[in-house]
Amino acid sequence: MGGDAPVVRERLRELSGPELYRRNAFRVTGASTRAARRTIVRRRQQIATAAKAGVAVGPVGELPLPDAAGPEELRTAFDVLDHPQRRIVDELFWFWETPDASDASCPCEPELHRQHDEAVRAHARALDAELGGGEAPRRRGAGGPKRPAGKKKGRGGPQRRAERPEEGYWQTAARLWRKLLGQRAVWAHLRHRVAALDDRRLTETAVTVLEAEVRRVLVSAVAGLAARTQDPARLARYCTQWTWTGRGVLGEALEEQLAPLYESAESELRQTGEELAGAFSEGDRKTAATAAAGTLRARVVPVVERLDAFADFGMSLGVGQLSDTTALLLNNCAVALSPASDATPPVRESFDLLDLALRLKPYEGTRRTIEQNRARLDEAGVWFDKAKPVFDPVVKALETAARQLDRSDAQGAADTLEAATLPLHELRRLRRGALAGLPDIPDAVDRLCDSAAILFNNCAIALAPGCGRGLRLLELAEEFCTSQETRGRISTNRLLLDQVREMGLPYGTSYGVRRPRKSLGTHLEEIYYGTSPIAAKVWTSVVVLLIIGLVVVVSGG
């Protein structure tokens, strides 16, 4: 292309971004896009004279800058207007106004100018609102979103989202610019302006460059806000209104703005992961996890969430992998802060970190791991909150009863076990209620109750079998047993005791339940419950008496 192209592209780069309209030379100076060169020179002299006299020059034009331009900004703007190759760029992005007699050679229909000016007006107001300058003063009759008829103007207080005018401005700007850029008349107008400026430095090559690059400049305005907005989700909605410019166009503009944030988050993740992996003792890991979690919350998660809001617009950045790695590190911090322990409950921070990790939408494998850890934390929380206060007294009672039986104190063991029946009933109630849906804990309750049944059985056979207490202890054993093996043994013992009582024998024995019991989550070691010493001593005598009784019965028959 000719010598116009480099200058036009340079000016397009200068205007690109959210300040697209704030940097526009016509807006800064208050000059009209139809102003002749001599008119602009007079305007420049007027402002310079006023500045020397210390007199402020009021805003001119429909949409003056929210803040008055400084001397350097004014000088730069007038220099742009003095250069036709740069001026034509600013003309595209400012008001064309309705053609009149002073510009009778303009080939445009008034409706084209109106649509163009409405697009510029809406876009400029939308960007002003995002940049914090608020809405510039409206000229009487200027376009913009209207209040429905009959609706009164609000009187202070925070506006509801539906009342935010920039929502309508963004929609109007995107819709009208899309419509305009599909019309050949737009480019015919700019070619007319090239001829009207009548400067040998400016050719129609400038219009060709504008036509090729205008979409990139337009999306640069919304893309430039992506890295600074406090509400990425809202900006992402605005981005969807500009996808008509081309997926690659919007994606490249967003990537250019967000790539530095992505690289910063990657670096933070790498360093944080190394620090966490370098801590080996439990105390060091907790300290490192606390620091790592703070770093991730403050410096990484906000970036990941910002990037994720714009991930569907065709960027080549590895946003998914970044989210997954961040979620993994959050998971590791949560585990380090609440290691598996029967002594201390999980800390609230671990739950929060796992919830935050899931919010980042990690890959499927990572998500499953985090969900499993979250379920285990829930289980541990229920264990310490509901189950452990009941488990501990029962475990203590069973351990005490086992020691008493070892010392041949069957009466004391029976007293200890009978005192534990209330917490045992409470455990069984919890097992059907609050603990029912949790893995492992219901099984632990069943094993603990079975252990109690074994001890009740062994106490019964250690006492005089014909006494009523032994029978009552076997009834409790039958009530609390949970395994078929234990139930079968206890039933046999109960049958033998019944037979002994019916025959009126003073002594008797029964099968002792001898099987290893290890109750997970109950602090019980492996305890072997066997036939008691007292019962063992009378076993031979009882068998002999039973045989004699059978012989007598047979002989009598």
In sequence order, what DSSP letters do the residues of 148-166 get, joined into one string?
PTTPPPP-SSPPPGGG-HH
Cα–Cα distances (Å) from 15 to 103, 123, 172, 260, 541, in that order, read: 27, 14, 21, 21, 109
Taking Cα atoms as reference points, which of 307, 328, 309, 219 lies closest to residue 263?
307
Give residue for tokens 């002989």: 555
Give the chain's length. 557
Residues 522/427, Cβ–Cβ less than 8 Å: no
Residues 393/423, Cβ–Cβ less than 8 Å: yes
Give residue for tokens 């302006």: 193
Taking Cα atoms as reference points, which of 319, 302, 201 lies closest to residue 259?
319
DSSP state of 527: E
SS3 553: helix
Q: How far apart (Å, rounded) are the C-alpha atoms in residues 515 and 54?
A: 103
Residues 353/331, Cβ–Cβ less than 8 Å: yes
SS3 528: strand
Q: How far apart (Å, rounded) are the C-alpha atoms in residues 15 and 32?
A: 18
Helix (H) or strand (E) holding 517: strand 516-517
**With 0-12 CB in 10 A as exposed, 13-18 as middle and 19+ as buried, what is 220?**
buried
Taking Cα atoms as reference points, which of 388, 484, 381 lies closest to residue 445?
388
Residue by residue, pLDDT tens for the chain (557 residues) are 457 899 999 999 999 999 999 999 999 999 999 999 999 999 999 888 887 877 767 667 788 888 888 889 999 999 999 999 999 999 999 999 887 656 667 888 999 999 999 999 999 999 999 998 554 444 434 444 444 444 444 444 444 445 467 889 999 999 999 999 999 999 999 999 999 999 999 999 999 999 999 999 999 999 999 999 999 999 999 999 999 998 789 999 999 999 999 999 999 999 999 999 888 777 888 999 999 999 999 999 999 999 999 999 989 899 999 999 999 999 999 999 988 776 788 899 999 999 999 999 999 999 999 999 998 888 888 888 888 888 899 999 999 999 999 999 999 999 999 999 999 999 999 989 888 877 778 888 999 999 999 999 999 888 865 567 888 998 999 999 999 999 988 888 888 777 766 655 443 444 444 433 433 333 333 223 333 333 333 333 333 333 223 233 223 34
The terminus-to-terminus CA distance of the chain in angstroms comes to 129
Supply the pLDDT for residue 411. Answer: 93
DSSP state of 317: S
Number of H helices, E strands in the chain: 23, 2
**Stated pTM of the model:** 0.71
